[in-house]
Chain A
């Protein structure tokens, strides 16, 4: 009798979860499985396909152009992860110090605002700012640096840092807010004790704030690394991967390969490689954070 009831309860649970699981299966697992399957074929998306074995993967790892594109994704980590997390830590620490003042609220809002703006709009606005006649160059000219003005997004040397800057601008707010929330979670008594012991800002930051924020930093790094490796929208809007292949990233290349070049197999292989790369980068971060937490 008892057994019967628990079993029924368990089935009821599954029934509630069923719609979500169904969606997950149809819109996440099935496409994932199909992507893996397609990666073993040469296929134009419509006509008959031919078995390619590991040919598409060999192509991904041997074609210098594709390797460079994967390299671009890793270069973006500097702008999408390192800069936002470091600046985020700094600005969160400062905002926390001035927590009571009105300035703190203003700073919080200003930093978080990019998160609210659609990425496409941000990309368009930044491509105006960074154009030959844009505000950035006007400012540089005004302070006597007209020698360095250029079309930032159209120059081979500056295009990748320029789109990286847009990403950093977007992600800084997210990191700041997460870290700020983490800081308020730290027991204020610890700070008080440190101050009584005569600790300065730096000592306090290194010995209390940083260790207390391990979890939040791990979340920030995870989210931003994924944003860097899987970036698409900012680059699609700002440069379309140009000039040349200077800002081409795997996300955009997968889309181009599948829908413009109609090489669905190669696109899928690159997508699989991208998934593996993201996992290879993110899992160690998670593992480190969890180990430290214990």
Chain B
């Protein structure tokens, strides 16, 4: 017996480690499993959304040195220019800026807001963030600064009911640096070649221009629809606005009970888009084209129209000076009301932010300070927020920026502003609109099938 024991011990460390190793690994797995399994993941209950409590809104950032943490979208100059100007006017405020692409911000948003809460952050769709109590309720600031006296349509998309639903009513959870609007950009040189002297005022006229361009061998529409973002959502929603009122579309985006995207006017819009596809108005590689390829092709003059937003106005004025124009999607009936996708460039304050008062003061300054408003227009090409009678910065006539700003007032006159259909739920763009629009372009989906599939996905997401 003793001999055998000795043998085993002397016999080899390897065997011993083999056995002992197996035991140790099993133990490690068991321990980690047990440690992991003893509680459900996540917070025990939703955080209560911290309501801002401010003593005196006017005190703003005070006089002592303060450094604001900002998490912003890379590639857009507006926030950087605004922050630099703010520091020039309030030298005690410094910025600690982190930049990422929007897709990265979208994925990081909940974790960054929870673990490393910034004072100011570019935000994706905010419903889920409010549900998790990650954003500061801005109602007290709105009252103190008078944001609630601005035209209600400016901030309606940033209001949410308790728990994040429905959108479009309730407390204010984010602000905009400005608000952007979408429509149709066109190449003036190519327009002259097909004899297009004025922007179309009905959908039928737009159809004629498209047909003329096709006949003249000009690509009628440069539109991206590749990768993870289906850009055909732009023309589709514009066509929806052309065929029907924006109200039901907004209800759907705001998750009002019983709302549906699968309506007769929307079906006619989707069918119209299919006609455009079948007529060959888009480039054959649209499903492989990303946003930047589209921009590069349009600015190099390879197509007549492009459905996009006024965040590119400043850019186009620079790259295609005098050569680019803009018009709102025309209504289907002459003299009908205009509508457009319009959304604030959304920025919010984390519930756990260290300097919320100063961040709110900055947001108010962006909308009210004359220099800030000028930066918004000149650098961003977009409409500043603020009171209806606030001074509008002067812009050079004949520029794209002038055209988009003028279009903005048409949309507010007709009360035609809509949020983007891709923002109805957090995942609907990636999981429904993009793949279905890519199938639509490839002829693998019908207009009716597109809307019913998206609606089914929408209901599933709201239920889950």
- The residues of A with any CB-CB pair to B shorter than 8 Å are 2-3, 6, 9-10, 13-14, 21, 25, 29-30, 33-34, 36-38, 41-51, 131-132, 150-156, 239-245, 256, 259-264
Contacts and interface: CB of A to CB of B under 8 A. Distances in A.
Pairs of residues from A and B, 4 with the lowest C-beta to C-beta distance, nearest first: A154-B288, A151-B285, A154-B287, A151-B288
9 contacts: A21-B24, A29-B25, A33-B32, A49-B42, A151-B287, A154-B288, A243-B439, A244-B436, A262-B110
Contacts of A240: 227-228
Interface string B21-60: 0001100110011001100111111100000000000000
Contact of B40 (A10, A41, A152, A256): A41
Contacts of A9: 13
Contacts of A150: 284-285
Contacts of B110: 44-46, 262
Contacts of A34: 36, 41
B236 to A, nearest CB: 16
A260 B430 contact: yes
Contacts of A37: 33, 36-37, 41
**Which of B41, B114, B133, B427 has the most CB atoms of chain A within a 10 A radius of its CB?**
B41
B364 interface: no
A42 B42 CA distance: 10
A33 B33 contact: yes
A114 to B, nearest CB: 22
Contact of A261 (B32, B42, B430): B430
Contacts of B33: 33, 36-37
B176 interface: no
Interface string B290-321: 00000000000000000000000000000000
B289 A154 contact: yes
Nearest to B283: A132
A14 B42 CA distance: 35
Contacts of A6: 9-10, 13
Contacts of A245: 435
Given A9-B13, A45-B110, A25 B442 contact: no
Contacts of A156: 439, 442, 444
Nearest to B290: A240
Contacts of A38: 41
A261 B431 contact: yes
Contacts of A49: 40-42
Given A47-B131, A48-B43, 7 more contacts: A44-B128, A46-B43, A47-B133, A49-B41, A244-B444, A261-B427, A262-B128
B434 A242 contact: yes
B286 interface: yes
B380 interface: no
A243 B42 contact: no
B438 interface: yes
Nearest to B24: A21
A253 to B, nearest CB: 10
A240 B434 CA distance: 11
